[in-house]
Amino acid sequence: MYAIRGLRRLQPVAHRMFSKKTPSEVNIKTPSEVKSYPPTIKVYTRTGDKGTSALFTGERRGKNNAVFDALGTTDELSSMLGLAIAHLESTRASSLIPRLEIIQCLLQDVGSNIATPVDSASQTKLKRTRFDAQSVHCTNLEKWIDEMSEGLPVHRSFILPSGGLAASTLHVARTICRRSERLLVPLMSDIDKETFMFINRLSDFLFVAARWTAMQQQVTEKIYVHQQGRVTEFDK
């Protein structure tokens, strides 16, 4: 699990990207603005060859443990956001890219929090991996949602995943985010409540981001049409 490997070295760098100010003063930087980088991390360690992997606490668990299911899904989500970014480049919706890059970095911090269970971590490690204690990032997501919602066509029916390649990729990211949320439910006693709140709000953001992207690229979204009793060309 490459995004989680080297967690001890990556985690502090990710946190330096975000200033510890109040929600009204927060100054979030995009990855391209960061001047310091983590040291080179060896890709293979051989420590997982027997089917276990280590948490940030040093405890080893089976790779099929619920914690690693959740970690793997946040990694999958970040990868899908990377694909969305690639599809957004040089398009009318490219202004969304910096926000998605910030979210990718925040997902690393989410992973740090998931990998530090409350019941087995020291206070030092819990403090180091505390996620969004002031709910700044959740508040920012809500702000972005409100901004992008302005001008969107009102939807009175279910919207099908559609709207072009970039928008559809964001819809896939949204569904991965929902799965991440479901996998976090059994772990809620071992993670910060803000971690779950952030993932919950992120799926809402990705839904709006997909719709906003379709609008910016002038691609019509497809809506659900009830099919019962309806004759289609496939029935002819």
Give the contacts of 172 (CB within 8 A, at least 6 positions apart): 80, 161
Nearest to residue 213, comparing CAs of 81, 112, 17, 75?
Answer: 81
Residue 229 has pLDDT above 80, yes or no: no
Q: Is residue 181 within 8 Å of residue 68, measured between CB atoms?
A: no
Residue 203 has pLDDT above 90, yes or no: yes
Give the contacts of 145 (CB within 8 A, at least 6 positions apart): 201, 204, 205, 208
> May I ask the CATH class of domain 7-225?
mainly alpha
User: How far are the Cα atoms of 66, 72, 162 from residue 159, in angstroms, in the given order?
Assistant: 32, 28, 8
Q: pLDDT per residue over 149-182, tens digit each?
A: 998 988 888 999 999 999 999 999 999 999 999 9
| pTM score of the predicted model | 0.81
Q: What is the pLDDT of residue 98?
A: 97
CA distance linking residue 138 with residue 47, whole number of Å: 36
Q: Specify the residue for token string 């890059």.
A: 101
Cα dihedral 225/204/83/111 (nearest 10) = -140
Nearest to residue 109, comparing CAs of 186, 182, 191?
Answer: 191
- One DSSP character per residue, 151-212 reads TPPP--SPBPS-SSHHHHHHHHHHHHHHHHHHHHGGGGGGS-HHHHHHHHHHHHHHHHHHHH
Q: Is residue 129 within 8 Å of residue 69, measured between CB atoms?
A: no
Q: What is the pLDDT of residue 29?
A: 64
Give the contacts of 4 (CB within 8 A, at least 6 positions apart): 53, 71, 75, 111, 115
The pLDDT confidence band at residue 230, using thresholds 50, 70 and 90, is confident
Q: Is residue 159 within 8 Å of residue 211, measured between CB atoms?
A: yes
